[in-house]
Structure 1
Amino acid sequence: MYTHTIDDGPTRREALRYGAAIASGGLLAGCTGTTDTDDADNGGASTDDSDHSVTMSPMGTVEFDAVPETIFTVFSQYADMAVALGHGEAVNSVYVPEMSGTTMNHYYEHIDGVSFDWEDLHDPLNDGLSKEQLFELDSDVHLADPAWASTQQNWDQGDVDEVGSQIAPWFGNFYSGTQASPPEGYDEYEYYDLWELFEGVARVFDEQERYDLLAAVHTDLVDTIQQDLPPEDERPTAVRVSIGGDGESFYTYHLNKPGYWLADTRPLGARDAFANEDWNNLWGEVDFEAMAEADPDVILHLWGITPSRSMAEMRSTLEQHPVGSDLAAVQNDRIYAQGMRYQGPIMNLFQIEMGAKQLYPEIFGEWPQYEDGDRYPEIPVDEQLFDRQEVADIIDGEV
């Protein structure tokens, strides 16, 4: 359904190729393309009918003679970007399709005409990233970071270059998620926020107008929230966690640090109860005693709205634990389901709205009670923080 016929393959291979920068190992900053003065009005990416180039770290300049028709993704932020740009049907893979696809559709339920058909998609990490599988999928673009790919088991830079030259370009940026250090050999790696990354992907698909319109919705949403936030010292303390398999520890994530994995919590400006913790990994791990010492006003349960975690089990574990039961968030029933770190633009809009209501219900309206398996709750129109129909119209190309 999502792969090319054998006859179509060579033509597409010629149509999608790396630019000279990849051959020379150049790593260029920003989402600009050629520096021609004719390109100034479109942000620097050159677009001439279907011919266009996009420059982003760590790939350098990637040239396209056609809009990609089949899309390889790993993490769901790129699948969500494809959906937002009107190309969701071109996605042929996504990490844990049931979890990613179900969660995405929890949000899309509220966007008329938008859904994600995930049932037959390949899981690119089911048995580790497989070069053979990439050749079988024969995608037109790999929305994944070549630097990240080079670190996967049984991969090296030669494998990355082979896939990029013989199948289709890489186009992704993984380490901007938390601004973690990239692997050796990528010293000039540049970082982007979620919407900068989305703009780069939009240029790959020659969908700058859709990007501009959705970015305006995002800007309005953040502005609406931030202009009504209380003074910092009056904001709640919060943690973003998922509970460990042993039921005695928590995986913890910052709220306000740089990185697109925090694109939904950072605009909300809550006081991070673990702000002073500096974890070597992309996350930390704390026990109940550390949680009790922090004693946050609000516990945001990462993955809670996905089918891979149970809010009922989370609440039960905390309520029945001799330390957990005394936490302020437990006592005041302020344990909330959160979405995924791997959020694209549509998910980001909903997750910002979700967090605003969970952290500041007296300002933005109460967050409805969420039970396992529920979709994103129905929010009364006068309490919605962004216009669902506007988003639907943008994605459908009606604006």
Structure 2
Amino acid sequence: MSDDSDTTTDGPTRRDTLKYGSALAAGGAVAGCSSLLNGDSTQETATPGGGSYSVTMAPTGEVTFDSVPDRWAPYCGAFADMGVALGHGDTMTGGGNLDEFYTYVYDEIPGVSAPSDAIESHPEVRSKEAFYELDNDVHFYDPAMLINWFDWSQRDITEISENVGPFLGNLIFRRSDDWHDHRYYTLYEAFEKVAQVFQEQDRYRAFERFHDEFIARIQSNLPPVSERPDVLLTYENTAEPETFSPYRLTDLGTSKKQWRDLGVGDALSGTGIENLSTTNRGELDYETLLEVDPDVILVRGHERKSPAEFRDVVLDYMRDHPVGSELTAVQNGRVYRGGYLHQGPVHNLFLTERAAQQLYPDQFGRVTGDEELFDRQRVADIINGDIDDA
């Protein structure tokens, strides 16, 4: 969208219960809009017992709410999963990039379901018209992403913020895009911001405790560093892969969290090969992969396949490839699905469990087995608000 887009809404702003920053009450101005993409990470204030409260997140800055939003939209599965984890999945209206919001994990959590209607009705909300149609109280979108990926202007961001609802989000799945010059957040730092918006700090803290205990338990059972594999994380969503887009595990984006927690080595270390980004679309061929010859290859883009389907389709093709068949990981059958790009707190539990079993079957069981490494019922209890013992 260009700067000369003039779509506006007549009359007062639609949300009397939502205000942008302290300047709105003082003089009718919308705080944060004139400098919307220069938000900092100052301490937010929250009032769980009622009244207005503020949440601050880069790049938007401070957003003040008079009540908990009851209509919301996320960009990507990470922020969608955060809303579900906090018990607010039923008020999600749609979102962006929801074709990569993998909801089958909720089938394993008793009494928890995906916001299927919202996903099916509005899976790609990226136009101003769609934002007006959904009439949400808050949008968990990084506004800088809308500008840099979808040709929005600052004027468009301001218009939707004033006439529909504020933006509060940050593209956190990778850290290699030049345009992302504002603060990044870890998965749980971003999750905490969403919890503050929904005033679900108790649920957030219960999730945080559960996550920390789970990761500590996993890490206490890892083999020595010298026995851990060097891993190549790639993206290639075709059934017959010929080239592979590289990811670097040293990139601190949230999409690599499970691999960092599991202490694996980056097979591309020292190669000079950069992480996939908006500007770096380079790909590796089989000859380059053979020079690196990683212990394990993780291929993203196949999350709709079961482990068996992935092996029968992708791994078997690599086994028949004249160069791919020479790779150590292929010969040892250590080529696996690489997990989602956009993971929230519930996703992360399942992806960490899967990754531990892919990489360390002697310690955690085989990925095709039925061993569970975390308590699904306890997760369900937290999501459903039963957190006294969580």
Please give the TM-score of this superposition, normalised by the length of structure 2: 0.85
Q: Do structure 1's residue 135 and structure 2's residue 132 form an aligned pair?
A: yes
TM-superposed deviation, 1:146: 1.0
Contact 2:13 2:164 in 1 (8 A): no
Aligned pair partner of 1:180 in 176, 181, 186: 176
Contact 1:53 1:63 in 2 (8 A): yes
Distance 1:145 1:272 in 2: 29
Q: What SS does structure 2 have at the residue aligned with 1:177?
A: coil
Contact 1:149 1:155 in 2 (8 A): yes
Counterpart residue number, 1:396: 384
Distance 2:349 2:226 in 1: 26
Change over 3 Å in CA distance of 1:134–1:47 after alignment to 2: same
Distance 1:307 1:137 in 2: 32
Query: Which residues in structure 2 correspond to 1:291-306 (within 5 Å)?
Result: 291-306=289-304
Counterpart residue number, 1:386: 374
Q: What SS does structure 1 have at the residue aligned with 2:148?
A: coil
Counterpart residue number, 1:33: 44
Query: Which residues in structure 2 correspond to 1:1-399 (within 5 Å)?
Result: 13-19=15-21, 20=23, 21-23=31-33, 25=35, 27-30=38-41, 32-34=43-45, 45-95=46-96, 97=98, 99-101=99-101, 103-105=102-104, 107-119=105-117, 120-124=120-124, 129-174=126-171, 176-181=172-177, 183=179, 189-243=182-236, 245=238, 247-276=241-270, 277-279=272-274, 281-282=276-277, 284-306=282-304, 311=310, 312-368=312-368, 379-380=370-371, 384-399=372-387
1:49 is aligned with what amino acid? G
TM-superposed deviation, 1:152: 3.5
CA-to-aligned-CA distance 1:265-297 (integer Å, 9 cap, x gap): 211111111133442642652110111111112
Distance 2:304 2:97 in 1: 11
* Identity level (%): 40
Contact 2:231 2:295 in 1 (8 A): yes
Q: What SS does structure 1 have at the residue aligned with 2:19?
A: strand
Contact 1:111 1:389 in 2 (8 A): yes
Please give the TM-score of this superposition, normalised by the length of structure 1: 0.83
Contact 1:12 1:140 in 2 (8 A): no
Gapped runs of 5+ residues in structure 2? 1-10, 24-30
Distance 1:168 1:96 in 2: 19
1:271 is aligned with what amino acid? G
Distance 2:378 2:241 in 1: 42
Of stretches 273-282 and 294-303 in structure 1, the one that deviates more from structure 2 is 273-282
Gapped runs of 5+ residues in structure 1? 1-8, 35-44, 370-378
TM-superposed deviation, 1:100: 3.4
1:306 is aligned with what amino acid? R
Change over 3 Å in CA distance of 1:117–1:280 after alignment to 2: closer
Distance 1:164 1:294 in 2: 48
Distance 1:143 1:308 in 2: 30
Distance 2:304 2:256 in 1: 17
TM-superposed deviation, 1:202: 0.6
Counterpart residue number, 2:3: none
TM-superposed deviation, 1:337: 2.2
Runs of 4+ in 1 over 4 A off after TM superposition: 9-12, 307-310
Change over 3 Å in CA distance of 1:308–1:358 after alignment to 2: closer
Change over 3 Å in CA distance of 1:23–1:86 after alignment to 2: same
Q: CA RMSD in A?
A: 2.5
Distance 1:306 1:341 in 2: 13
Counterpart residue number, 2:8: none
Distance 1:308 1:74 in 2: 26
TM-superposed deviation, 1:31: 6.6
TM-superposed deviation, 1:300: 1.6
Change over 3 Å in CA distance of 1:202–1:130 after alignment to 2: same
Distance 2:197 2:96 in 1: 21
TM-superposed deviation, 1:123: 2.2
Change over 3 Å in CA distance of 1:203–1:94 after alignment to 2: same
Distance 2:20 2:285 in 1: 47
Distance 2:95 2:258 in 1: 21
Change over 3 Å in CA distance of 1:16–1:290 after alignment to 2: same
CA-to-aligned-CA distance 1:144-179 (integer Å, 9 cap, x gap): 0111112244411110111111100101001x3222
Contact 1:89 1:117 in 2 (8 A): yes
Q: What SS does structure 1 have at the residue aligned with 2:109?
A: coil
1:134 is aligned with what amino acid? F
Contact 2:92 2:115 in 1 (8 A): no
Contact 1:85 1:207 in 2 (8 A): yes
CA-to-aligned-CA distance 1:182-228 (integer Å, 9 cap, x gap): 63xx85x2111011000000100000000000111111111112222
1:333 is aligned with what amino acid? G
Contact 1:298 1:329 in 2 (8 A): yes
Distance 1:389 1:31 in 2: 36
Contact 2:237 2:302 in 1 (8 A): no
Q: What SS does structure 2 have at the residue aligned with 1:123?
A: coil
